[in-house]
Amino acid sequence: MLLDWYLSERMWWRSWPDNVEGWWRSAAEHPNVLFVHYEQMFADLPGVVARVMRLLGIELTAAEQAEVVRKAGFDCLKEHEERFEMSPPTLLQELG
């Protein structure tokens, strides 16, 4: 059921394959598209932040970079999860 919903046109941003396919094409055509996997962020968030900085051509002090890593970390996101709610639709709306 979850997979069917995720792959359906009922998703806010179209189906996952359609959404990613557009970005995949853009990444092949433009050097300013960066794919980052959740697993990469979980394993090495400071390294991912450094990759994003390189892509954007910006430099941060060590303290600024540490603050970005802190604010992008799971604990901070969980603390402010109401700011990251997916709407509409949500899986719970679909199941309800």
pLDDT tens string 19-51: 788 888 888 899 888 889 989 999 999 999 999
Q: Global pTM?
A: 0.66
- pLDDT at residue 82 is higher than 70: yes
Cis peptide, bond prior to residue 89, ω within 30 of zero: yes
Rounded distance between C-alpha atoms, residue 28 and residue 94, angstroms: 34
Give the Cα separation of 71 and 84 in Å (integer). Answer: 13
- Over residues 45-73, the mean pLDDT reads 96
The secondary structure of residue 11, as a DSSP letter, is S
Reading phi first (left if > 0) and then psi (alpha if -120 to 50, else beta), residue 18 is in alpha
**Domain extents for the chain?**
1-33, 34-85
pLDDT band at 5; cut points 50, 70, 90: low
pLDDT of amino acid 92: 58
In the chain, % of residues over pLDDT 90: 40
